[in-house]
Amino acid sequence: MGQPEEPMKKKQTIAGYFPHRGGRSGRLRWAWILMALGAIIACREVPIPAASSANAAGAEAAGNGAKAAEATASGISEALAASDTAPLPHIDAKRAFEYTREVTAFGARYMGSENHKKLERYILSHVKGDEVEDDTFTADTVEGKFPIRNIIAKYPGKKDGIIAILGHYDTNYPLRYTGYVGANDGGSSTAILLEFANQLRGKTRDGYSVWLVWTDGEEAVRAWSDSDSLYGTRHLAEKWEKDGTLKKIKALMVMDMIAPKDVAILRDSNSTPWLLDLIYAAAQKGGYQSHFYAIDTAMEDDHIPFVKRGVPCADVIDMPYGYNDVFHHTPQDTMDKLSPDSLQIVGDTILETVRLVDQKP
C-alpha cells in the first residue's frame, strides 16, 4: 500500500523518467501521485520505531519494565542504542563537502571517459597506503564495451565478519554531453566514502572489518533495466558469492544522493528491516531522526544484487531530489543544492550504525 506501481528506479534517462518530459507520462504520473500518497500514509505508519522508542523511554522513566520488555525488532535496535554509552562518532563534514566539490569539478565521469580515469586516480591517491583491491572487468552493454572498476578499501577489525559500505562514483553515460556533473548523484557518494576512510584509517577496529567500495557502472548506459544498470555491483556480488565473502558480510549499506540540503533519507522496502531500524536508532542518538523515513518506497540501487543473495542490506538515499525530483539526472545537479550539514547527518548516523552492528547479537 502506498507504493508506486513499480519500484522507484532512481536511474532512468531523463526522457523516460519525468512525467512532464513526455514518454510514458500517464503511468509515471500515477506512480508519482501514488508515491506522494505513500508519503502521506507513511507519516502515519512509519513512526513505529519512534513510537516504540517513546514507549521504551517512558517505561524506563517510570521504572516500569513491562513495555521495555516487548521483544520487537525495532525494540532490539532501541535497546542496543540505549545501552551504548559511547559518544556519537562525527565525520569531518566540511572536509567531506570539499571532496564532493573536487569530485564534481572533474565534470562528467561516465564509464570509459578520461574524467572517470582521473577520478579513479583521485580516489586511489586518497587511500594510498591502505589495503586496496580492484575488481575490474569489461561490461558488454547496449552502447558497447566499457571497462569497469570497483575500488575496495579494507579496514581491519578484531571481530570475524565484514561491514560493507558502498557508493557509486560513475555518472550517466546518456548525459555525457548535457553539462551534467552529478554533484549529488555520484559526487556525494564518492566523497562520503573518502571521509569514512579517514575515520577508519590507521587503527584496528574492536568490531568487524569495514570495507568501503567505490562502485562503478551503477548508472544505465541507455535506459534503466535489469540488464542495463548496476554493472559493477552485479559483478561484485557474483564474485563475492563465489569466493565466500558474502557469507561474512554482516551488513551492507549503500550511500547514494545523500547530500541535498535538509536531507530526507527514504525508507526503502527492498532493504532489510532490522538494518533500517538500526540506522534509525543511530539517527535518533544524534537527534537526526527527522531526516529519516518520511517517505516509504521500493528502490532499485547498488544493494539489489546483494539483496537477491540474502545479504542484510540498506539503501541510504534521498529521493525525490528537489520537489518533484526536478534536479535528478539533470545539469541542475550541482553543488549549490547540497549542504555539509547533510553529509554530517548521514555520515555520523552510518558510523554509529556500524558500531551498533558490531554489538548486535
Task: Name which of residues 179 to 218 contact Zn ion (CB under 5 A).
Answer: 185
Q: How far is the CB of 185 from Zn ion (least distance, A)?
A: 4
In the complex with Zn ion, the residue whose CB is nearer, 185 or 302, is: 185
In the complex with Zn ion, the residue whose CB is nearer, 157 or 305, is: 305
Q: How far is the CB of 333 from Zn ion (least distance, A)?
A: 9
11 is a site residue for Zn ion (CB under 5 A) = yes
Task: Name which of residues 66 to 125 contact Zn ion (CB under 5 A).
Answer: none
In the complex with Zn ion, the residue whose CB is nearer, 109 or 291, is: 109
Q: How far is the CB of 10 from Zn ion (least distance, A)?
A: 6
In the complex with Zn ion, the residue whose CB is nearer, 225 or 290, is: 225
Residue whose CB is nearest to Zn ion in the complex, by number:
185
Q: How far is the CB of 341 from Zn ion (least distance, A)?
A: 22
168 is a site residue for Zn ion (CB under 5 A) = no
**Applying CB under 5 A, what is the total number of residues that bind Zn ion?**
2
In the complex with Zn ion, the residue whose CB is nearer, 99 or 224, is: 224
Q: How far is the CB of 331 from Zn ion (least distance, A)?
A: 13
- Whole-angstrom CA distances from 156 to 58, 132, 197 are 39, 12, 12
Chain contacts with Zn ion (rule: CB under 5 A): 11, 185
